[in-house]
Amino acid sequence: MNEPLQSTTLSPAASRPALRDSALRRFFSRQRGDSPFKQAIIHLVLICACLIAIYPVLRVVSISLRPGNNVVSTSLSIIPEGATLDSYRKLFTQKDFLLWLWNSLIVTLITSTLGLALAATGAYAFSRWKFPGRRAGLLFLLTTQMIPAGMLLIPLYILVVRLQLFNTYRGIIIAYATTAVPFSIWMIKGYFDTVPIDLEEAAKIDGASQLGAFWRVILPLSTPSLAIAFLFNFMGAWSEFIVAKTLLQKPELRTWPLGLQELSGQFTTEWNTYAAAAVLIMIPVVTIFLYFSKYFVGGLTLGGVKG
């Protein structure tokens, strides 16, 4: 005998979790025409995240505006009582802040540009040509990134002294480039792999040489990866301290990390002047980052499509 069919109708209590899951799925689903409530929640979360990220910077600005006799304070106001610009004035009149900043800009820009040029040509060779030792060379470049910077300090010091470049810009630039080039090669090489080789062959048919195809076709198409490599090289060289402390002993060659060390004494620290210098130092980095930010996502994602 056929058994009677059982009813599959769910009770109201059992159907509530399914309805709740479907409602949450519709609320968080990515589709056009999101509800105003959902948009308000998303914007509120983003605003809170921005405030959390900006607040420490505002505290530094607040400390830089405090008078010298009111550095230590429990007040949470952004504009302190008796706010003054004496800390900024002291940097430009009593300290060699402009000289430190100028030295850092020279070293950082030359390091970033030189490292980018070497990395672009090296990445092009690894990407387009098959030669003996290619895989071993890429593995070696990757391995160098696993070595802590402190372990490279003695070899870099010996190299710079042997080349008679101690206490020179050229010596510190070579030291920075040795760490910037391998990482940049890997980043740019991954992007070059995504550029079709047919574009180069078409350029050669039109009469361009290998170098001409690289200069006129590959480099313009690889602007995102080049911009990101330049940004990483700039940020790495801009705030470096240990290598600069070892290779630069002359006061007139000090970069800003070495110069700010003067503000920190054995018993006292000029926190308001220190904070004022931090505010001024972050301006070049923020400016360059905002300029290259449009390439940030494209340069990292497209560069990792192929190995």
**pLDDT score for 33:** 58
How large a percentage of the chain has pLDDT more than 90? 18
pLDDT band per the 50, 70, 90 thresholds, residue 67? confident
Q: pLDDT tens digits for 250-305? A: 889 999 999 888 877 666 777 888 889 989 998 888 888 888 777 765 544 454 44
- What are the structural domains of the chain? 36-84 (no CATH), 94-304 (1.10.3720.10)
**pLDDT score for 112:** 92
pLDDT band per the 50, 70, 90 thresholds, residue 104? very high
- The crossing angle, in degrees rounded to 10, of helices 97-128 and 86-93 is 80
Task: Return phi, psi of residue 195, to 5°.
Answer: -85, 120
**pLDDT score for 116:** 92
Question: What average pLDDT does range 9-15 have in this prediction?
Answer: 50
Question: What average pLDDT does range 114-136 have in this prediction?
Answer: 89
Q: Which residues, in sequence order, are CB contacts of 295 under 8 Å at separation 6+?
A: 223, 224, 227, 228
Q: Which residues, in sequence order, are CB contacts of 23 under 8 Å at separation 6+?
A: none
User: Which is more confidently placed, 79 or 306?
Assistant: 79
Q: pLDDT tens digits for 283-295? A: 888 888 888 777 7
Q: Which residues, in sequence order, are CB contacts of 106 under 8 Å at separation 6+?
A: 169
pLDDT band per the 50, 70, 90 thresholds, residue 47? very high
Closest CA to 109 of 242, 234, 263, 267: 234
Question: What average pLDDT does range 201-224 have in this prediction?
Answer: 87
Question: Are 263 and 281 spatial neighbours (Cβ–Cβ below 8 Å)?
Answer: no
Question: What average pLDDT does range 4-26 have in this prediction?
Answer: 54
Mean pLDDT rounded to a whole number for the chain: 81
pLDDT band per the 50, 70, 90 thresholds, residue 109? very high
The token pair at 124 is 């092009």
User: Taking the CB of residue 27, how many other CB atoms lie within 10 A of it?
Assistant: 12
